[in-house]
């Protein structure tokens, strides 16, 4: 049953701001189809829609580009999708101050193009950057292959404006880097999946656009040899900004087929570098030398254009709508635990041939399955094995993508931590009626 907006909202939601009934299925998540999709053109409209939904007891899901709409547990209800893609303006850009303030619906690609005109860039990455919006990136705390250098989105965030479930707008931080106003609520909202408030504006500290970039790609006879070489590279003073180990299955999905990658047990080390031209040349040269000395069978250096293309493919892997995996699990580990986890994986007897992507510098390990039929019981066993290994190494495992049937069996975020009760209290205080994305977060809050 579709929703009809009350007369009071007709003045703030334009006629084309309400998606027709036949378009609602395009916004379905985990088998839940919203009763209405509203595309507000102003923050005032966002506030009034939220206030109305909150009063009526309706469940609202904020949405940007929808690139990671399936992340998280299945929602406890879905009445309205609030599509923020029309809130896409650059509100303030001061290249000399290294700051920018934007509306939440602007895409990452467009933001970076705008910033490049002033010679700056934001330390942000996300899959499908042409569709991913800043609000969505912040809400899932998305990152990419350069996270070792960039950090997470919340690390660049200096100010935020959020519409609460009752429509009231609050701010945290500011538009300048040296700002200590109030509590650091930026980190509270980043990664909260829109369950505490709807991000409508964000301010970031910026960096100077790098003059040069490049990448080294080296194949190895085994995953363990590649991991050892990557560890050596991590400890060099000239270390690249991003160092990754991928197995043969992942390499093929990335379009990497070096001569040395002749066996399914082989692996590839990818090292990304960016910055001043001479510094990047040195990093690429010395990195390629070290990888050859430590068993690299085929080592090549990619120029800026090739490195940029590989970086985008790497960031998008597992998220493209035309190549969505059956199951994707990310292990968050201490950096020292990544090599240990890679060595233990064969002992787990995991089915199929998952793509494996390891970031030993930051401490993440992703496993992605495209093969096999959906089998919630078998997939639950895979998740259980990976989760037990991650916990034994002092980490955790998050199910990034899976079937709705598997979500019904597990909490995709893992076992609830001791702090979950604090999280519940925060949710109750900021969203007492459970209006925003109920059930999506850890502990199915």
Q: Which residues have C-beta within 8 Å of that of residue 227, sequence separation ≥ 6?
A: 245, 267, 338, 339, 342, 343, 358, 360
pLDDT at 173 over 90: no
Q: 127-141, 167-181, 289-303, 387-401: which has the minimum mean pLDDT? A: 167-181
User: How far, in Å, are 226, 227, 247, 280, 340 from residue 218 at the CA level?
Assistant: 9, 12, 12, 17, 21
Distance CA 165, CA 230 (A): 46
Distance CA 116, CA 393 (A): 41
Look at 416 and 220; give whichever has higher pLDDT.
220
Look at 250 and 265; give whichever has higher pLDDT.
250
Q: Residue 12 has what pLDDT?
A: 81
Distance CA 22, CA 208 (A): 45
Distance CA 316, CA 293 (A): 31
pTM for the whole structure: 0.94
260 falls in which pLDDT band (50, 70, 90)? Answer: low
pLDDT at 3 over 90: no
Q: What are 309's strand-pairing partners?
A: none
Distance CA 316, CA 254 (A): 9
Q: pLDDT tens for residues 353-412? A: 899 999 999 999 999 999 878 899 999 999 999 999 999 999 999 999 999 999 999 999
Residues 264-280, mean pLDDT to the nearest whole number: 93
Q: Residue 182 has what pLDDT?
A: 53
* Of 363, 324, 319, 320, nearest in space to 341 by CA: 363
Q: Are 352 and 375 in contact (CB under 8 A)?
A: no
User: How far, in Å, are 116, 192, 223, 359 from residue 264 at the CA level?
Assistant: 41, 38, 10, 20
Q: Residue 47 has what pLDDT?
A: 96
Please report, rounded to a whole number, the percentage of residues in the chain having pLDDT higher than 70: 96
Q: Are 61 and 81 in contact (CB under 8 A)?
A: yes
Residues 65-93, mean pLDDT to the nearest whole number: 96
User: What does R_g of the chain's alpha carbons equal in angstroms?
Assistant: 22
Q: Residue 4 has what pLDDT?
A: 80
Q: 55-59, 220-224, 286-290, 419-423: which has the minimum mean pLDDT? A: 419-423
Q: Residue 7 has what pLDDT?
A: 77
pLDDT at 100 over 90: yes
pLDDT at 265 over 90: no
| 275: number of Cβ within 10 Å | 16
Q: pLDDT tens for residues 296-339? A: 999 999 999 999 999 999 999 999 988 899 999 999 999 999 99
On average, the pLDDT of the chain sits at 93
Q: pLDDT tens for residues 281-303? A: 999 999 999 999 999 999 999 99
Q: Residue 39 has what pLDDT?
A: 96
Structural domains of the chain ordered from first start = 7-83 (3.30.43.10), 90-208 (3.30.465.10), 212-316 (3.30.70.3450), 321-407 (3.30.70.2740)
Distance CA 154, CA 171 (A): 15
Q: Residue 23 has what pLDDT?
A: 95
11 falls in which pLDDT band (50, 70, 90)? Answer: confident
Q: Residue 119 has what pLDDT?
A: 97
pLDDT at 248 over 90: yes
Q: Residue 5 has what pLDDT?
A: 80
């Amino acid at each position: 049953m579709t929703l009809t907006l009350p007369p009071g909202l007709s003045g703030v939601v334009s006629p084309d701001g309400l998606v027709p009934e036949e378009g609602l299925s395009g916004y379905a998540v985990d088998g839940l189809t919203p009763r209405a999709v509203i595309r507000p053109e102003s923050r005032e409209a966002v506030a009034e829609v939220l206030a109305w939904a909150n009063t009526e007891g309706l469940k609202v899901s904020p949405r940007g580009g929808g690139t990671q709409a399936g992340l998280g547990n299945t929602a406890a209800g879905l009445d309205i999708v609030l599509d923020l893609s029309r809130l896409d303006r650059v509100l303030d850009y001061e290249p000399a101050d290294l700051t920018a303030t934007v509306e939440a619906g602007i895409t990452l690609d467009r933001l970076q193009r705008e910033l490049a005109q002033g010679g700056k860039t934001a330390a942000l990455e996300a899959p499908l950057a042409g569709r991913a919006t800043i609000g969505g990136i912040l809400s899932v705390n998305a990152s990419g292959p350069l996270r070792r250098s960039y950090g997470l989105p919340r690390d660049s965030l200096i100010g935020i404006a959020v519409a609460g479930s009752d429509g009231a707008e609050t701010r945290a931080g500011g538009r300048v880097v040296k700002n200590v106003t109030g509590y650091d609520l930026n980190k509270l909202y980043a990664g909260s999946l829109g369950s505490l408030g709807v991000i409508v504006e964000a301010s970031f500290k910026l960096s100077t656009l790098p003059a040069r970039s490049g990448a080294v790609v080296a194949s190895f006879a085994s995953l363990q040899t590649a991991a050892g070489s990557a560890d050596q590279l991590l400890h060099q003073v000239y270390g690249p900004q991003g160092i990754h180990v991928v197995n043969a299955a992942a390499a093929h999905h990335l379009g990497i087929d070096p001569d040395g990658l002749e066996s399914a047990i082989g692996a590839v080390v990818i090292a990304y570098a960016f910055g001043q031209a001479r510094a990047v040349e040195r990093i690429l040269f010395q990195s390629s030398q070290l990888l050859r000395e430590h068993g690299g069978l085929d080592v090549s250096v990619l120029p800026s254009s090739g490195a940029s293309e590989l970086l985008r493919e790497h960031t998008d892997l597992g998220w493209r709508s035309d190549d969505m995996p059956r199951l994707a699990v990310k292990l968050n580990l201490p950096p020292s635990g990544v090599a240990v986890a890679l060595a233990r994986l064969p002992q787990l007897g995991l089915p199929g041939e998952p793509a494996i992507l390891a970031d030993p510098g930051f401490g993440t390990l992703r496993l992605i399955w495209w093969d096999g039929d959906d089998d919630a019981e078998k997939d639950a066993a895979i998740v259980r094995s990976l989760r037990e290994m991650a916990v034994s190494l002092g980490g955790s495992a998050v199910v990034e993508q899976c079937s709705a049937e598997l979500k019904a069996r597990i909490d995709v975020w893992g076992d609830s931590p001791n702090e979950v009760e604090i999280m519940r209290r925060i949710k109750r205080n900021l969203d007492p009626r459970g209006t925003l994305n109920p059930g999506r977060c850890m502990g199915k809050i």
